[in-house]
Each structure stands twice: as structure tokens, then as C-alpha cells.
Amino acid sequence: MSDTLAFDLIVIGSGPGGYVAAIRGAQLGFKTAIIEKEPNLGGTCLNVGCIPSKALLHSTEQFHFASHGAGEHGIECGKPSIDIAQLMRKKTKTVDQLRMGVQHLMKTNKVSVFHGLGVLAAEQTVQVKNADGATEATLQSSKILIATGSSSIELPFLPFDGEKIVSSDQAIAFDTIPERMAVVGAGAIGLELGSVWARLGSQVDVIEFLPAIAPSFDKDVSKTAERLFKKQGLNFHLNTKVTAYKNDPDGLILTAEKKDQQIDFAVDKILVAVGRKANTTGLGLDAVGLACDDKGRIPVDAHYQTSVPGIYAIGDVIAGPMLAHKAEEEAVACVERMAGQAGHVNYDVIPNVIYTDPEISSVGLTEAAAKEKGIDYVSGKFNFSANGRAIASDATDGFVKVIACKESDKLLGVQIIAKGASELIASAVTHMEYGGSAEDLARTVHAHPTLSEAMKEAAMATAGQAIHS
């Protein structure tokens, strides 16, 4: 039996929620421990999520440019070819560098790192178990933070085999380019990884149960995205429900239904990207009397406190958008609350991004959501086809849409589809965080020529005052 080690804060899980909480805890003077069951720190985001997917998107965008766009600029590079092993090595190098960064941060902040499964044994006790189930360490604290994140949802009739029927964990690491691939789900992960493999030459069929791709975005954005991504070779099957699969000598046959019609897709790989579920298995919730909600998430109050005093939860394991920056903000707010400070997350202004080409981003309400809430609003739209920098940079696809309260002019939401939309959304978030109006945004000086001028013009358009359209 191991000795019991005492801490001021124990964090279970080292994703963007967990490791940020550990650092903030250390900054606030807590003697902090973090427990991670995987060999590397960084969680989904760093190891199999945000970072590797963005590295692949960047590499394949370069390949796509070399294959399709370079000639127009007078850049002759012949017909480029892909070395998939090198492409993956480049991705791994990026991930490794950031893993070392997180490790270094744990060291410099004097956070004690434990590798193993964190299991709640009692209200103030966490055991660290090794792969054989033996207890390697017993930690005690009056403050325990669960940040165990999420994993891909499996469809019962399409069980993951890690080879042909895969989750994003494998789809970021194929060692050959699949000839034919089905992507089930047209949300962020399906669209991003579908784009990666389509750019490398796979025939990609994206099957979506709902009537739109990127369904959480404004309808206008979804429609534009669908049109643009179709041109890039993604085949969309909307209002279509996947129902079964069977092995075939030539690969897999995936069966789907659209209205009453059956469609069969002959493919080599199926990526199931239908969402993620909270990680609570093996965590020992029963031992402390914690129950999950109907979606398997850990319920918390406004201060991230669970029903058990001293046990908190943040990130993907609780309700809300499953996003790394949401987990990070909750981490800081939660730990500051533990220290008696006034940490707070403004859930009305959490940006959401899909890193396709063009990218899609949004913050706040869509027009549909404003309508549903009965808010009287005005909207303004500006197309990148009328933006100088966009024309000079082959970035004319897409638009910015701004919506504001008709009476107060307060910004309610911004939707962008454009190259660099992930960066452009930041200024909308800032304006909204400070309660800015469409006029504030419209009268803010934006450098020329920049894509961000489209944001200003869309804000001006809410009052019918856009200059360039």
C-alpha cells in the first residue's frame, strides 16, 4: 500500500482544461497534482484533436496550392507528389514540441505529475492506478477537479475496429491515402478530416442526418460552405441516415437511407464523426455518490462544483460546447473560485471555428436563434469578393454577417466564412465581450488592405452604410 500524499488541489486529466487548471492553481499558491492516464500530457486537444488536425490541414492546404493554385502565380513546380510518412512526421513533430511545452510548464510551475488512471476512492481521496489496476499512489485533497474530457461516440451498428471503421483518433494517422472514404457526420471534425483526405486524393462522401452541413452555423454560412466544399471534391449526402455496413471483398459497403431510398457506398474507410461523449468510466463516481446526467456528463453548479462538496468538474466532461478554449476558460474560472476570487466565463461569447478552406467561424447568436428568442434585430453582410486584400490573396470566397439588436444596436452575433475566419472572429469576440454595438465595430479603424475590413463593412451594412457594396 502506497503512502498518502497531501495536496491543495488534485486535477484528474491533463487536457486543456486540466493542465491549465493545474497551472492556475500553482500560480494561486496551491500545492497541485495532476493525474493523466495516457503516456503524454495535453489531452485530446494536443494528442489527437485540435493540434494534429490543424497540422494536417496546413500541410494538405500547401499540397492543394502546389497542385492547383501555384501555376496561376507563375510558380512552376511540376506535378507535386505526396510522401504520406513525411506528412505524418511533420504533424508528429508539431505535437511533440507542444507536449514538451506542457511538460515544461508542469515543471516550472512545480505541479506534481502522476501517470495512471485517477480513481475517486473517497470524497477527498484519489488513487492513481496502473494498467494492472494496482494502486501506485494515493493522493488526498479538499479540492479535486475532474477534467477527464471526452471520447468519440461509437454507433452501435458501426463499431470501431481501428482499421476500416475509425474515429478521428485513427483518421489523423492513416499511413496510406484511402481511395474511397465515407465520413459520417458533417460537423467540424467530419468536415476538417474529410477535407484533409479529399485534398490528398481520396474520394470522400460525407453523410449527414440533418439537412445542412456545419448545422450549428447560420444557414447562409452552411449553404455557402456546402457549395464551396463540393467544388473541392467533397460529396455531400444530407438528410441521409447511415443504417448498416457489411464487409465486401473489395472493402466495405456502407448502407444509408434517404427518404425511402437506400444508398450503398463502397468504401475503404469509414470515419464516424457524430460527436463525443464525456469520459467518466472507471473514474469512481459511485464511490463518492456522484451521478451523471442523461447525456453521461457530470452536473455542476455555476461555480463548477458537483453535488459533492470539494469535487469540481470542467471541460468536455460537463455540459456545453466541447471546445478546448471553453475548457481552458472554465479551468481558470473554477480554480479562481476555489481561491475565493471571482472567476467567470461569459458563455454568450464563446467563438466556434471549423478550420476548412475557407474557414468558418462564429460567435453569439445566429439569425435563426435571434428569431427564436423573439429579438428584433438588424443584419449586415459583406462579401469578400469586394475586399481588396481578398482579391490580392485569392480569398474572395465567403462573407461576414453581423447581427445587432435593432433597438440598442448591441452586437448579438457574427458569422464568418473566409480564409482566416478563425483569426478574424477574435475582434468580434472582443467587441461583444465589452458589450459593443455594431456602430462601435463600424467606427473602429481597421488597417487597409486587410480581410478584417470586411468585418467593419458588415457592421456598417447593418445601418445600410457599407462603402464598398
Ligand X SMILES: Cc1cc2nc3c(=O)[nH]c(=O)nc-3n(C[C@H](O)[C@H](O)[C@H](O)COP(=O)(O)OP(=O)(O)OC[C@H]3O[C@@H](n4cnc5c(N)ncnc54)[C@H](O)[C@@H]3O)c2cc1C
Task: Indicate which residues carry an active-site annotation.
Answer: 448
Binding of ligand X at residue 35 (CB under 6 A)?
A: yes
| Interface with ligand X, residue 36, by CB under 6 A | yes
- C-alpha cell of 194? 474529410
Residues 269-298 contacting ligand X, CB under 6 A: 279, 282-283
Does 14 help bind ligand X (rule: CB under 6 A)? yes
* Least distance from ligand X to the Cβ atom of residue 269, Å: 15
Q: How far is residue 240 from each of residues 185, 235, 306, measured CA to CA in Å?
A: 10, 13, 39
Which part of the chain contacts ligand X (CB under 6 A), choosing from 94-102, 295-303, 323-331, 455-463? Answer: 323-331
Rule CB under 6 A: choose which of 7, 9, 16, 398 binds ligand X. Answer: 16
From the CB of 378, what's the least distance to ligand X, in Å?
A: 30
Beta bridge partners of residue 266, listed in sequence order:
253
Instruction: Give the burial class of 424: count Cβ atoms within 10 A of its Cβ; 0-12 exposed, 13-18 middle, 19 or more buried.
Output: buried
Read off the C-alpha cell for 280: 467518466
Candidates 256, 324, 338, 454: give the one binding ligand X (CB under 6 A).
324
The order of strands in the sheet holding 117-122 is 4-6, 135-140, 125-129, 117-122
Using alpha carbons, select from 12, 20, 30, 7 the residue that is nearest to residue 101: 20
Amino acid at 324: A
Cell of 9: 488541489
What's the CA gap between 70 and 258, in Å, rounded?
39
Among 169, 175, 202, 180, CA closest to 270: 180
In the bound state with ligand X, the residue whose beta carbon lies nearer, of 211 and 282, is 282
Name which position in 214, 270, 322, 334 contacts ligand X (CB under 6 A): 322
Indicate the DSSP class of residue 441: H
- Bridge partners, 241 (sequence order): 257
Can residue 154 be called a binding residue for ligand X (CB under 6 A)? no
Of 57-65, 85-93, 316-324, 439-447: span binding ligand X (CB under 6 A) = 316-324
Nearest to 105 by CA among 185, 41, 187: 41
User: Stretches 7-15, 102-110, 380-388, 404-412: which one binds ligand X (CB under 6 A)?
Assistant: 7-15
Strands 359-364 and 352-354, sheet pairing = antiparallel
Strand order in the sheet with 144-146: 112-115, 32-36, 9-12, 144-146, 311-313
351 makes contact with ligand X (CB under 6 A): no
Which of 329/457 has CB closer to ligand X? 329
Shortest spacing between CB 376 and ligand X, in angstroms: 32
Per the CB < 8 A criterion, the answer to whether 205 and 267 are in contact is: yes
> What residues are paired with 410 via a beta bridge?
437
How many residues line the site for ligand X (CB under 6 A)?
A: 37
- Decide whether 170 or 462 has the Cβ nearer to ligand X: 170
Least distance CB 220 / ligand X (angstroms): 22
Residue whose CB is less far from ligand X, 147 or 212: 147
Under rule CB under 6 A, residue 189 binds ligand X: yes
Compute the distance between CA of residue 337 and CA of residue 335 in angstroms, rounded to an integer: 5
Return the amino acid letter for 158.
L
Stretch that binds ligand X, among 31-39, 75-83, 238-246, 404-412 (CB under 6 A): 31-39
Q: How far is the CB of 53 from ligand X (least distance, A)?
A: 4
User: How many angstroms separate the CA atoms of 423 and 146, rounded?
Assistant: 30
Please report whether residue 323 would count as binding ligand X according to CB under 6 A: yes
**Binding-site member from 23, 95, 98, 117 for ligand X (CB under 6 A):** 117
**Grid cell for residue 271:** 470515419
Out of 7, 10, 18, 438, the only residue in the binding site for ligand X (CB under 6 A) is 18
Residue tagged 466565463 (cell numbers): 345
- Apex CA 90: angle with CA 87 and CA 95, to 5°? 130
Smallest separation, CB 452 to ligand X (Å): 21
Select the residue interacting with ligand X from 37, 91, 297, 419 (CB under 6 A). Answer: 37
Contact region for ligand X (CB under 6 A) — 44-52, 64-72, 98-106, 205-213? 44-52
Which span sits near ligand X by CB under 6 A: 56-64, 144-152, 383-391, 442-450?
A: 144-152
- Ranked by CB distance to ligand X, the top (closest) residue is 149
In the complex, the smallest distance separating the C-beta of residue 263 from ligand X, rounded to whole angstroms, is 26
Report in angstroms how near the CB of residue 42 gets to ligand X at its nearest: 7
Among 148, 202, 356, 361, binds ligand X (CB under 6 A): 148
Q: How far is the CB of 351 from ligand X (least distance, A)?
A: 9
Q: Does 12 bind ligand X (CB under 6 A)?
A: yes
Dihedrals φ, ψ of 74, to 5°?
Answer: 80, 15
Q: Report the b/e string of 435-469 with b at 16+ CB within 10 A.
A: ebbbbbbbeeebeeebbbbbbbbbbbbbeeebeeb
Residues that bind ligand X (CB under 6 A): 12-18, 35-38, 43-45, 48-50, 53, 117-118, 147-150, 168, 189, 279, 282-283, 315-316, 322-325, 327, 355
